[in-house]
Amino acid sequence: MIVMKFGGTSVESAAAIRRVASIVKARLERQPVVVVSAMGKTTNKLLAMATDAVEGRKEQALEQLRALRDFHIAEAAPLVASSETPEFEVLIHEHFQELGELLSGLAVLGELTPRSVDAISSYGERLSSRIVALAFRALGIDALHADSRRLIVTDKRHTQAAPLYPQTYARLSAEIAPPARAGKVVVMGGFISGSEDGVTTTLGRGGSDFTAAIVGAGVSAEEIQIWTDVDGMMTADPNSVPEARPLKVISFAEAAELAYFGAKVLHPATVLPAVEKNIPVLILNSRRPEAPGTRIISEAQPCKNPVKSIACKRRITVVNIHSTRMLMAHGFLRRIFEVFDRYETPVDMIATSEVSVSATIDNTRRLAEIRTELEQFSSVSVESDRAIISLVGGNIRYTAGIGARVFAALRPVNVLMISQGGSQWNLSLVVDEADLPQAVRLLHEEFFHELDPAVFA
Ligand code: ASP
Ligand code: MG
C-alpha cells in the first residue's frame, strides 16, 4: 500500500485532475490511498470570504462564493460520468448552499472564531476529494470517497488541531486499509479532520502533507508520495541558481532543516508520523511523473558531498542587544528571551559574545515594543534587509575544512553572523539581502562543483 498526496496545483483544473488520474492508474498494483488538497487557491479564497463577511462586506463575500462555485462546476463537471451527474449536482448545490448560510451567519455575528474558520476552510477539501473520486470513477478507477473529518481524529485546537493518534490509527486501519487491499482507491481530503464529538477541525495551513503522513502511518504504507509541481528537493532554489540539481535522497533531519529555512516543498510536521514508523516519503512532480523525485529516508545515505542543499530566508531583521552594565550577569539571556516570548516573536538564529547578543527575527510586527523593553536593560541596534543562508547536510559537522571553504568562497561578501552546532546538519550565515544572490551562487559553485551520483540527479 502507498499513500499518494496531490497538492492544490495538482488538482487545480480538469486537465490537472486528468493528469492525477493517469498517475494513479499507472500505480494501481501498489494499492494507492489518495489524499488531495483543495483545488488551486480555494482555501485562500474561502478565508478571504469569511473575512469579508465579518467585516461588513457580505455582498462581496457572496459574489466571491458564486465565482468559486462557477469555478468548481466549470472544472469538475466535464470530469463526471453522466450516470453520476445528479450526485455531482447535489454535491455542489448542498456544499455551496451551506457555505452561503455560513457566510450570512458570520455577517450577522460580525465575529470570526477559530471554530468558524475551520468550518469554512474545510469546504475546499470536502469538495475536491468528492470531485476527484467522481472523476476517478469516470476515468475507470474503482474509487471510493472517505471523509477525513471522521477518520483523522484531533483535539479541539481549531485551525491547528493535533491528531489523537491511537483513535486515528485505529480508524484508518479499520476503514481504509481493507478497501485498499481489496483493490479500491480510497480518496480523502487532506488538511481536514474532526474532534471526537464530530466537530470539524483542521491541521493548519499546508496540512495536507501532514494528512498524507498520518494516513501512511495509520495504514502502515510502504511509501508516502507527495506529488507537487517541482522536481523535488534541490541543491538550491533554481530561480536564483540555474545550475541547481535535484537530490535523489535526503534524510528526514536534513529535509526538516530545509523546510524550516524556506524550501517550501514539504511541511516539516509531515516528517513526524512517517519518521516514527520509518516510512520513506517521496517528493514527485505531477507535471513530470517520469522524474525520479527526492526520497526522504530516516538514515542519511553516505555521500561524498558534505553539503546537500543551500536554503535561504529573506527579509530577516537582526536585533543586536548590547549589555553595558550586566556583563554576562546570569539571567541576561533569560530576560532577552522573555521579551521576545512576551511579544510572540520567534527567534531563528542567535550569536552571543561576552557583552552582546544578536538575534534574528522574520516577524517585525512587535519590534517597536520589543525594542522599548530591551532598552530597559541594554542598548539595542536593529539591522533590516538581511538574509539567512543555511548550508544543510548530515556530514557538515564531521567534515574538516568546511568553514574554510565557506569563507574562502564568500571572500567578496561581508558575513554578518554565523551559527553552527544548533543542529548537526546546519551551518547558517547572515548576510545583507543585497549580497544574497551572489553569496548563494558562490557557495553553490564551491560545494556542488562535483556531485556524488548516488545522491544527486
Ligand atoms: N488547502 C490547505 C491549504 O491551502 C491545505 C493544503 O493545501 O495543504 O492550506
Ligand atoms: Mg501544500
- pLDDT of res. 425: 83
Q: Name the band, by pLDDT with cuts 50, 70 and 90, for residue 269.
A: low
CA distances from 354 to 332, 333, 362 (A): 11, 11, 25
Average pLDDT of span 240-249: 92
CA 161/CA 300 separation, integer angstroms: 31
Ligand 2 centroid to residue 7 C-alpha, Å = 5
- pLDDT of res. 239: 82
- pLDDT of res. 223: 96
Average pLDDT of span 72-88: 97
The 249-251 sheet, strands edge to edge: 143-146, 185-189, 32-36, 2-6, 223-228, 281-285, 294-297, 249-251
- pLDDT of res. 302: 84
Q: Which residues make Cβ contacts (< 8 Å) with residue 400, sequence separation at least 6?
A: none
Q: Do 416 and 432 meet the contact criterion of CB atoms below 8 Å apart? A: yes
Query: What kind and span of H or E run contains 369?
Result: helix 367-374
C-alpha cell at position 222: 510502504
- Regarding the beta carbon of 207 and ligand 1, being less than 6 Å apart is answered yes
- Regarding the beta carbon of 41 and ligand 1, being less than 6 Å apart is answered no
Query: What kind and span of H or E run contains 200?
Result: strand 200-202
The 200-202 sheet, strands edge to edge: 153-154, 192-195, 200-202
Ligand 1 centroid to residue 191 C-alpha, Å = 6
Residues shown for the chain: 457
Q: Which residues make Cβ contacts (< 8 Å) with residue 104, sequence separation at least 6?
A: 53, 58, 62
Reply yes or no on whether the pLDDT at 331 is more than 90.
no
CA 28/CA 177 separation, integer angstroms: 14
pLDDT digits (tens, 9 = 90+) for 18-30: 999 999 999 999 9
Average pLDDT of span 202-230: 93
Nearest CA to ligand 1 atom 5: 206
- pLDDT of res. 262: 55
pTM of the model: 0.84
CA 324/CA 15 separation, integer angstroms: 64
Ligand 1 centroid to residue 85 C-alpha, Å = 27
